[in-house]
Structure 1
C-alpha cells in the first residue's frame, strides 16, 4: 500500500470552509486520509467534517496530512494545493528555518539545525550509527568525540535505548559536550538496536552536559514523553523528508 504525507506549519486556523473542502476532496479518493494536529496531539478522519473541526487548529500548529492507499500518489498531488492554502508545507531546505526559529525562541540553549538530520545509506551496526550521529553534532559543542561515543556505548550496554517500535533515543549526560544538542538519522533499511521491540528506522541522539539545571533538562524529558505518544510517533515514522522529521522532533521538545 502506498503512503504519502504532507507536513506543514499552519499559517492560520482551519476554517469551516477549508474543512468542508478537505472532507469533500477526501471522498473523491479510495485512500485512507487523515489530518493530525501534532501540536495538540489530535487526529481526525479527513472525510468527517465534524472531526476535522474538533482539531481546533490554530496559527503556528504543526500538522500532517497522511494518505495511505492505492491512489495515494494522485491524492497527494491533489491535496498539495489545499495544504499550501492552509500553511507552509515542509519539503524544501528553505522551510527548515520555521522549525529552527521556534526552537531558538523557546529553547535557545538547544541546538538542532537541519544539517543535524541525515540518512543512512546502508545498514550499519549500532556503534557505527552512534559515531555518525556524533559527527552530525556541531564541532563547537563537542569537546571529545571518542569519549562521548564510549559513554553512549556504555549506556547501550545497560539497556537498549529503543523508546518505541521503530524509534531509538540514545542519550547521555556527558562532560564531552558543552551545551544540549541533538542529531537524527533516518534509515529506510531496519537497524538492529538489540531490543525485543525490533529494529528501528529513526535514531535520535540526545546529549547534554552533566550538572545541567533541571529546568534545562525538561525539554529532553518532554521529547522522551512525546516519542511515546502514538500520534506524534506515527507522524515521525511516516514523515518522508528531513524537514518534516526535524520539525516533528522540535515539536516534541517544545510541547
Structure 2
C-alpha cells in the first residue's frame, strides 16, 4: 500500500473548526486512510473525525503531519499539499522537495535553538558492521581526529549499547574534538546489527557534544533522547523520506519537546 506524508506548521489561528471540517471533506474524495499527527503534542487521530482532531488542541506554531495510506495516496498528497500551502506553513511533502525549508529552519521560532550547532545528513546503503558505522561517523564529524573520536564512541558502547528497541541507534559522546554540538543523521537502506538484544537499526542519530555544556544544550538533548524512547516517535523518523522532514522534526523536538503549550 502506498503511503505519503505532509509535514507542516500551523499558523496564528492554529487549526480552527472550519478548517478541520474542510480537511474532512477533502478526505471524502479519496479511497485512502488519513491520519493527523500533532507532533508537538505527541498525539494523533483520524483526519476524517474533525471533533477528535479539534480535541488535540492544535495551536499556532505546532508541528503537524498528515499521513495518507491507500491506492490513491499520491494523488491525495498533491491535493492536500496545495490546500495546506495556502492555510499552513509547509515543511515537507512526499511528492516534491521543499527548497525553502532551510530558510524556514533559520528564521522560524518553532525550529530555533538558543545555541550554535552543526547539522550533518547523508543516506547510506549499509555498513558491514557496527565498528564500520562508528568509524564512518567519526570520519565525517572529525576528519582530522577520527581515531580519537572513534575510540570515544567505542568506549561509550562498551558501557552500554546505544541501540534503542525501535530500530534507532543513538551513539553519543562528549568530546574535545568539537566546539559546538554536532547532530549527524543517517538513514540506512539495509538494517544494521548493532550487537545488542535490540532489533537491527535502520536509522543512526549521532550526537557529539563539546566538553563545555550549558543548560540550553543539556535541555535540548534531554528533550530529544526522551522523545526518541517512544516507539511511535521513532517510527515517524523511520518513515521520513526527505532530509527536511527529519531535520524539521528533530529541531522542533529539541526546541520544544512535547510540552503542552
Q: How does the TM-score come out when normalised to structure 1?
A: 0.87
The 10-residue stretch of structure 1 (207-216 or 66-75) with the greater mean CA deviation from structure 2: 207-216
**2:62 corresponds to:** 61
Q: Note if 1:97 corresponds to 2:103.
A: yes
Cα deviation per residue 1:112-140 (whole Å; 9 max; x = unaligned)?
Answer: 43xx1110034442223223334444x6x
- Structure 1's 106 and 75: CA in aligned 2 closer, same or farther, altered over 3 A? closer
Q: What's the secondary structure of 1:227's corresponding residue?
A: helix
For the pair 1:4 / 2:10, whether they are aligned, the reply is no
Q: Distance in 1 between matches of 2:78 and 2:99?
A: 20
Match of 2:122 in 1: 118
Query: How far apart are residue 223 of structure 1 and its match?
Result: 0.6
For 1:231 and 1:112, the matched residues in 2 are separated by 26
Q: Give the 3 Å change call, closer, same or farther, for CA 199–159 of structure 1 in structure 2.
A: same
The question of 1:16 aligning with 2:4 is answered no
Relative to structure 1, the CA distance from residue 197 to residue 46 in structure 2 (aligned partners, 3 Å threshold; closer, same or farther) is same
Q: Under a length normalisation based on structure 2, what TM-score does the superposition of the two structures give?
A: 0.85
Cα distance, 1:170 vs. partner?
0.4
Task: Give me the whole-angstrom Cα distance separating, in 1, the residues matched to 2:214 and 2:229.
Answer: 24
TM-superposition CA deviations, 1:203-238 (whole Å, max 9, x none): 111111235245532211111001123443232121
Give the structure 2 partner of residue 197 of structure 1: 198
Q: Provide the alpha-carbon RMSD of the alignment.
A: 2.4
CA distance in 1, matches of 2:237, 2:111: 23
User: How far, CA to CA, are the matches of 1:104 and 1:41 in structure 2?
Assistant: 15
1:181 maps to what in 2? 182
Q: Which stretch of structure 1 is more off in the superposition, 166-175 or 207-216?
A: 207-216
The aligned counterpart of 1:41 is: 42
- The alignment status of 1:245 with 2:246, answered yes or no, reads yes
Matched residues in 2 for 1:200 and 1:81: separation?
35
Post-superposition offset of 1:65: 0.9
Q: 1:5 to 1:105 in 2, by over 3 A?
A: closer
> How many aligned residue pairs are there?
250
Counterpart position of 2:115: 109
Query: CA separation in 1, counterparts of 2:118 and 2:41?
Result: 22
Equivalent in the alignment of 1:87 = 89
CA distance in 2, matches of 1:154, 1:50: 51
Shift of the alpha carbon at 1:168? 1.0
Alignment partner of 1:132 out of 131, 136, 142? 136
Cα offset, 1:104, TM superposition:
10
In structure 1, runs of 5+ residues without a counterpart are: none
Distance between the aligned counterparts of 2:36 and 2:165, measured in 1? 22
Once residues 125 and 154 of structure 2 are traced to their aligned partners in structure 1, the CA distance between those partners, rounded to angstroms, is 22
In the alignment, the residues of structure 2 paired with residue 216 and residue 150 of structure 1 have an alpha-carbon distance, to the nearest angstrom, of 23
Query: Do 1:103 and 1:250's aligned partners in 2 also have CA atoms closer than 8 Å?
Result: no
